[in-house]
Copies of this chain bind each other. A is one copy, B any other.
Amino acid sequence: MNNPPRIAIAGVTGAVGQEFLEIIEQRDFPFSSLKMLASARSAGKQQAFKGEAYPIEELTGDSFGDVDIALFSAGGSISRKFGPAAAEAGCVVVDNSSAFRMDQNTPLVVPEVNSGDISGHQGIIANPNCSTIIMNVPVWPLHQAVGVKRIVVSTYQAASGAGAAAMAELEQQAKDWVAGDELTQDIFGRQYIWNLFSHNSNINPETGYNEEEEKMIKETRKIFHDDSIQVAATCVRVPVLRAHCESVNLTFEKPLSEDEAREILKAAPGVTVMDDRDSNRHPEPLDASHEDDVFVGRIRGDASQADGYGLEMFIAGDQIRKGAALNAIQIAEALVEGVAV
């Protein structure tokens, strides 16, 4: 791999694609060339970056011959179509879709948890589901300390997880509602403002769990290298523009006091503890928006379990940032630093 690498962004016009650019600039991610890739619809347009206008090129099978690291966020079908060919051409793909996450030859990585898995890649490294990443960052250090046996999690997910058009529809519904007009319902087919609904992914007819929930269950086991960890997940879309929250209930193998848990979380990478009982200030979506860290609050011993064996917390993380673009760029940074080249 060249150092600095030649990089490409596949799906640069999407919400995550745009966030890639912002983070590359903020973190001064090194590159010797930067290719902006999107669908034919956007090809020929220009993408501003660091004061320069980059041409947007159509994403094709030939896009990756001169690329060292490709950040993919253009949906699962695009990843399946072009990811393996890009890897074949010698490029390392960091893929934000679900296409390869559970493939046994593909590392699934949250850098704060299992950056060591990066080195085993065979050309593709998968970025986990956003809700999974946000949950795993604070749960992992507790798991390391005393072993997490079971997680019961309920999510409060923002429109951002369904893309820029979904965020725009929610904003449009506010305008429609204030104007007294009929609400625009092109994306979700329902009123979203002043409402909430079970996550808009398909439900497994056998288990009753939807795809988002199954991702949280299966991906956590893969990332933690622990197939015994039990996860009960309920994923819900709430009328928030950006940043997901999660109510997390843990059962431990060994006891851990609330104070010990708080100290572990304060020292954990990627975590900001915001837990003020007196002023009742705990993580909110607006706190986490555009921030790198996962915010953790409402840390308390679970009154419903044996003393020390349960913990509750409420967390918030930026879905587009740590839940997608930032996590992928952290993986790319590890590649550049030579961890896995």
Contacts and interface: CB of A to CB of B under 8 A. Distances in A.
Interface of A: 150-152, 154, 156, 170, 174-175, 177-178, 190-191, 193-198, 200, 202-203, 205, 207-210, 217, 230-232, 234, 236, 238-242, 245, 247, 249, 258, 277-278, 280, 282, 284-286, 297-305, 310, 312, 314
Contact of A301 (B208, B284, B314): B208
A156 to B, nearest CB: 6
Nearest 9 A-B pairs (CB), nearest first? A208-B300, A230-B304, A154-B247, A232-B304, A154-B154, A203-B277, A198-B282, A234-B247, A178-B178
Specify the main secondary structure of chain A where it touches its partner. Answer: mixed
Contact of A209 (B151, B177, B303, B310): B303
B194 A286 contact: yes
Interface centre among A175, A200, A282 (most CB of B within 10 A): A282
Given A174-B174, A175-B178, A282-B198, A207 B240 contact: no
Given A232-B302, A277-B205, A314-B236, A241 B194 contact: yes
Nearest to A278: B205
Contact of A232 (B234, B249, B286): B249
Contacts of A285: 194-196
A99 to B, nearest CB: 22
Given A205-B277, A230-B305, A236-B314, 13 more contacts: A152-B152, A154-B234, A174-B174, A194-B241, A200-B280, A203-B278, A203-B280, A207-B301, A208-B277, A217-B303, A231-B304, A234-B312, A239-B240
Contacts of A190: 284
Given A209-B303, A303-B217, A304-B152, A234 B298 contact: yes
Given A195-B284, A208-B300, A277-B208, A239 B236 contact: no
